[in-house]
Structure formats: C-alpha cells, structure tokens
Amino acid sequence: MSATEFSAGSGSGAGDHRPRPVVAVVLVAAGSGQRLGYGMPKARVPLGGEPILMHALRGVVASGVAQQVCVALPAGDGSLRQMCDDFKDELVDGGPLLTVVEGGGTRAESVRSALSALEEGTQAVLVHDAARALTPESVFLRVVDSLAAGALAVIPVVPVVDTVKTVEATRDDDARIAPEIVVGTAPREKLRAVQTPQGFDLDTLLKAHREVAGFSEAQAAAVTDDAMLVERLGIPVHAVRGASQSLKITTPLDLIIAEGLLEGPLGARWVEG
Ligand code: CTP
Ligand code: MG
C-alpha cells in the first residue's frame, strides 16, 4: 500500500467535521498472563468461547478509527499469528491494514516493536492493551477526537471509587502490629484510574520511547503506560472519559466479570456511551 492510498482512508470526526489524523492502533498482546494463571498467553485465553485477542481486534476495527492495526504477539506464537491471518479475511474493503509483529520482554518493548512497523504517513497512534478486550467504540472515538482537536497525548480515565493511601513497610518493633503503616491519603476527587487506548501524536510517542534507552533496569520496569513517558518530556497529557467495561482482564475475577458482561442482557458493549 502506498502512502497516498494509506492517507486516503482518513475520515472526518463524527458530527463535528474536524479532520481526523491518519491513525494506527498498536494492540499489545505479547504478555504471558501470569496473574490470570491459565498457563498460556493471556491473548489466547478464551472469553465467551473466543480468544481474548479476537474480542480486542473486533473492538478496534468496529470503532472505525484505524487505518492500520499493528498487533504485538508473543514471540513464536503460531496459533495467534494464524488467528490474525484468518481475521484479515474478515476485514472488508476499506477496513484497516492488519500487521503482526513479535512483542518483547516488557510491554514497552512490545510497543516499540509495533511502532517500528507502522506505515509511512501515520500521524497518530493509539496504544491499546489486548487485555482490555471489551473497550467500547465510544472510548476510541473520544481519544481520536481529542487528538483531532490538537492534543499531543490523551488518555481515557475513570474516577477512583476507593480511598487511596500511600504506605510504607513498618519498621522493627511495629512490624509485630501490622506489616505496613499509612503515610498519606491522596485526595480522591483528583485521582483517576487510567485505561487504554492512549492516543499520541506519532512523533511525540517516538520521542518519548527513545528516552527509555537511557533508563536503568529498575526505571524500565516501572514503565506501566506510555503517557508517563510523555509526561517526563513535559508535554501535556489530556484526559477524556473512559468506561468501566473497559476493564483490563488481569486476574481470574476480571475474567469472570468480562464473561458476565458478554452474557448480560444487552451484550458486551452496552453501557456508558
Ligand atoms: N504486554 C505485551 N508485552 C509484554 C507484556 C505485556 O504486549 N512483554 C501486553 C499484554 O499482552 C497486555 C498489556 O500489555 O495486553 C497489559 O499487560 P498485562 O495486563 O500486565 O498482561 P500480561 O503481562 O500478559 O499479564 P501478567 O503481568 O499477569 O503476566
Ligand atoms: Mg504484565
């Protein structure tokens, strides 16, 4: 596909006629799923009878925001690669280009692997966790609309319902009383839980990821999302509304909740338009 053909796919923002950038979605699916404990990569774990990755792929494509979807898979996973190949046949004319790469040992490495396979002409990138298999289309649209309005970085967020405290390990004598002691209470009204897809101007995200090259192993391990790399550059990160059904399937309980959402009376992508 040429850069010209690639650009031709970019549409207009729904209803407001703002031109949308040429968007690629990076779908990171290369994790091993240790906490889910299925003994297989999480992307392959069945949800409502289909692998988690299939749900995630369908959601991205249904949102209609992407000219390219680049999936980072666990190294050497022939079964997921085959599934992606089969999915290409489901894509109608005018649908996104589907690219597959091998992920890395950390999430950030998987993101970088996918970024290196984006088409010429890509202007913006959405980085999305395959583990958030039920993210509604509306969240993708809010993120892309914010990019179209000028954001260089934008994340979907939801309010935090629990009171959040910072703690430290208790020392010496006090350890008999309890393992940790509270050192502060965060102001809950200002806290947000962060989801994906996180949207970025492509050059901004590439620059943010280049900084990681100078990180120590501990610093690299602490990179849990892409927005924090952009924050380090001093670039504003904007926030739009996420959705509670966009949960990250991490533990067995999350999988039960996701199954429940799929089986609910209104289907998977119901609430919170
Ligand atoms: N991911 C990735 N490459 C990695 C690690 C994670 O592409 N080396 C992806 C996962 O596939 C997932 C997303 O990043 O879609 C969020 O990661 P997480 O929920 O932690 O998934 P896993 O790393 O698979 O789970 P665990 O940490 O329990 O092993
Ligand atoms: Mg992980």
Q: Which of 30-34, 93-97, 164-168, 224-228 has the lowest mean pLDDT?
A: 93-97
**Cα-to-centroid distance, 225 and ligand 1 (Å):** 11
**Cα-to-centroid distance, 31 and ligand 2 (Å):** 6
Of the pLDDT bands very low, low, confident and very high (cuts 50, 70, 90), residue 22 is very high
Q: Which of 59-63, 91-95, 144-148 has the lowest mean pLDDT?
A: 91-95
Q: How far is CA 250 from the centre of its chain?
A: 13
The length of the chain, given as a count of residues: 273
* Predicted pLDDT of residue 92: 81
Average pLDDT for the chain: 91
In angstroms, the CA 192 to CA 156 distance is: 9
Burial of 106 (0-12, 13-18, 19+ CB in 10 A): middle
Rounded to an integer, the average pLDDT of 64-84 is 97
In angstroms, the CA 117 to CA 100 distance is: 8
**Cα-to-centroid distance, 189 and ligand 1 (Å):** 29
> Does ligand 1 have an atom closer than 6 angstroms to the CB of 110?
yes
Answer yes or no: is pLDDT of 95 > 50. Answer: yes
Which residues, by Cβ under 5 Å, contact ligand 2, an ion? 31
Taking the whole predicted model, whether its pTM rises above 0.85 is answered as: yes
Element (H, E) at 180: strand 180-185
CATH code for the domain of 32:
3.90.550.10
What is the amino acid identity at position 82?
Q
> Does ligand 1 have an atom closer than 6 angstroms to the CB of 102?
no
**Cα-to-centroid distance, 55 and ligand 2 (Å):** 19
Minimal CA–CA distance to 195: which of 118, 140, 113, 234? 140
pLDDT tens by residue, 169-201: 998 888 889 999 999 999 999 999 999 999 999
What's the domain range around 171? Answer: 3-270
pLDDT tens by residue, 37-56: 999 999 999 999 999 999 99
Give the chain's domain count: 1
> Does ligand 1 have an atom closer than 6 angstroms to the CB of 103?
yes
Percent of the chain surpassing pLDDT 70: 90
Rounded to an integer, the average pLDDT of 13-27 is 78
In angstroms, the CA 163 to CA 79 distance is: 42
